[in-house]
Amino acid sequence: MNTPTSQRKPHAPPAKRRGSADAALDASELRPGQSIELLHELHILTREGRLNQDARRKLKQVYHLFHFIEPLLQDCAAHGYDPAHRPTLADHGAGKSYLGFILYDLYFKELGRGWIYGIETRPELVEKSHALAQRLGFERMRFLNLSAAASAQAAELPERIDIVTALHACDTATDDAIDFGLQKKARAMVLVPCCQAELAACLRHDKALHLARTPLAELWRHPLHTREFGSQLTNVLRCLRLEASGYQVTVTELVGWEHSLKNELIIARYTGQKKRSAAERLHAILAEFGLEATLGARFRIPE
């Protein structure tokens, strides 16, 4: 039976697309002295000075990450390598140097010293970041068109770096950033790994052998599990390598980045206490999964 017109529910208005509604920026959402021009350039703010939902989440995420990095900056500002230039920070896989610009604006600008080096393989992004730094007067930012692997020998970088960051550096680029940090004797490293495909590929290659040898191979028998387990195991090996190299390691979630599936944050502080047990466990894990031949060199521990 048809429902009388008078009893039909009115059509709901079409739902607004997520993040499409703009709202005026609340001054309480900014840090003291924060550059409005920078927020415009990073497309967090519209030209009308408004903030949509996606941009508001992004701003909160940046503040949350800054919460982790600021204590490291403060420690290195006091105890870093070069009293005249500390702290120094190298950002690998910098992209548009979003992190570097925010860190400079929130910390380095007021400090009046310290340098940020953005390391990125795409020359057009390096050029754009350089131009933006000039427009904003961020004089102690440098941008290098280099890979993480090549940057350790670059003459443009100081012999020692206080802090190394690598956020969503894909696959082995995170390991290259760790190599860089170890060579530069970094006092701290902040890593958000991404797309760890190398180890998963090794697990897939020898899957039949492992299934015959141990029931633990069920952990990566299915392709989805292979990817997830490979990612988990890669980060475990990275943490053991850092501990064996003299770092105290903390692993946590990058809370607030719900839109990203890559939400693991590794923070390593150099203490000089090299854990022999960490080195032993790293080698034991590589041996257990038959990875010594293919990945032993990648996870080597410096003398």
| pLDDT value at residue 28 | 63
| pLDDT value at residue 6 | 42
85-116 burial string, b = 16+ CB within 10 Å, else e? ebbbbbbbbbbbbbbbbbbbbbbbbeeeebbb
Check pLDDT > 50 for residue 10: no
Give the whole-angstrom CA distance, residue 135 versus residue 138.
8
Check pLDDT > 90 for residue 27: no
Residue-wise pLDDT tens digits, 268-286: 999 999 999 999 999 999 9
Paired with 198 in beta bridges are none
Q: Rounded mean pLDDT of the chain? A: 86
- Cis check for the bond before 14: say yes or no (omega within 30 of 0): no
Q: Could you count the other beta carbons within 10 Å of the beta carbon of residue 35?
A: 20
Q: Which residue has the higher pLDDT, 137 or 15?
A: 137
Residue-wise pLDDT tens digits, 148-162: 889 999 999 999 999
Domains and CATH numbers, the chain: 31-195 (3.40.50.150), 197-247+273-296 (no CATH)
